[in-house]
Amino acid sequence: MNLTAAIKRQALDIGFDLVGIVRPEKLTEEATRLRAWLDRGFVGTMEWMESGFDKRTDPTVYVPEARSVVCVALNYYTTHPTQDRPGYGKVSRYAWGDDYHQVVGEQLDSLLNWICEQEPACVGKISVDTSPVMDKAWAARAGLGWIGKHSNLIHPNFGSWLFLGELFLNLELECQETPVADHCGTCTLCIESCPTDAIAEPYVVDARKCISYQTIEFRGEELEAETAGWIFGCDICQDVCPWNRFAKETHVTAFQPRPELVSLSLDELSSMTEEEFRAISKKSAVRRAKHRGMVRNAKHVRSRSKQAEGGSTS
């Protein structure tokens, strides 16, 4: 077995569900689309998308020594339903268990260490969503799926419940992956189901209207959009996607839901101290919104719920 095949085999043995290897070429088409998206103001307050543009679209700027990119995906789907109940705020499925940055990062670290044992001259750089890297673009190039109209990666066997990561290596590996054809067809369920009309057109999301952006990345004092009961992230566009009928239960124990994170009491969260928030969000992606943001989100949803009931908002 040559090194390329051995790396793929090892990635699967470590626990990744999908793996592909591509050349670190400039993302020319993706750069054009990203520039148009930025120019339309859809980025909201995420200034880092602009400041890291060159690194994000050209891996030779971000990792000059890279000769190959190992792209991986890890299924996080569990069969537990989203809990939509009065007095509680909904949390996106991806944050129900342990923080994926740590889980995926640790597995990539194990893979890199194994590769370095085979090739001592190997140098690698790990990326899991926090680097100036277009994860979905690389995954699509590596044949791990296609980018759907809701802008998430979709795989025909796993749907869109996938965490992505990359390993940039200074090794010349065989790169013969075949991209997966777009199978969204004429379906527009994700566009029609978004309560804030955040999907401006197929494959283009206006982050400013997106519930996930509003509840996680937006740092304003007051939310600027309806959140439909969500206090961290949103799964609506994925829940309605027909391809997620094929989703499989994850084999990763760390992604199993913690009862306290599947949904959160709006009253309790609205008065939760920072210390209490740190306790329930330990090793969780929920910390991304910070204590202040989660309290703000809870108060927003609680207020909207009371207004809908015709009651007091105090």
Q: In one letter, which amino acid is 27?
A: L
Q: Which of 39, 84, 109, 129 is catalytic?
A: 129
What is the number of other CB atoms lying within 10 angstroms of the CB of residue 54? 13
| CA–CA distance, 258 with 239 (Å, rounded to integer) | 20
| CA–CA distance, 247 with 162 (Å, rounded to integer) | 10
Terminal-to-terminal C-alpha distance of the chain: 67
Shortest CA distance to 272 belongs to which of 254, 252, 298, 251? 298
**In this structure, is the dihedral angle defined by the CA atoms of residues 90, 96, 102 and 105, taken in order, positive or negative?**
negative
In DSSP terms, which residues pair with 91 in a beta bridge? 232
Give the list of residues 6+ apart from residue 172 with CB closer than 8 angstroms, or none. Answer: 67, 68
Q: What angle do CA 90, 95, 96 make, to 5 degrees?
A: 75
Burial class (CB in 10 A: 0-12, 13-18, 19+), 220: exposed
**In this structure, is the dihedral angle defined by the CA atoms of residues 140, 142, 143 and 145, taken in order, positive or negative?**
negative
Can you read off the two tokens belonging to residue 166?
């990359």
| CA–CA distance, 273 with 259 (Å, rounded to integer) | 20
For the question of residue 129 being annotated catalytic, the response is: yes
| CA–CA distance, 51 with 132 (Å, rounded to integer) | 9
Which residues does the annotation mark as catalytic? 129
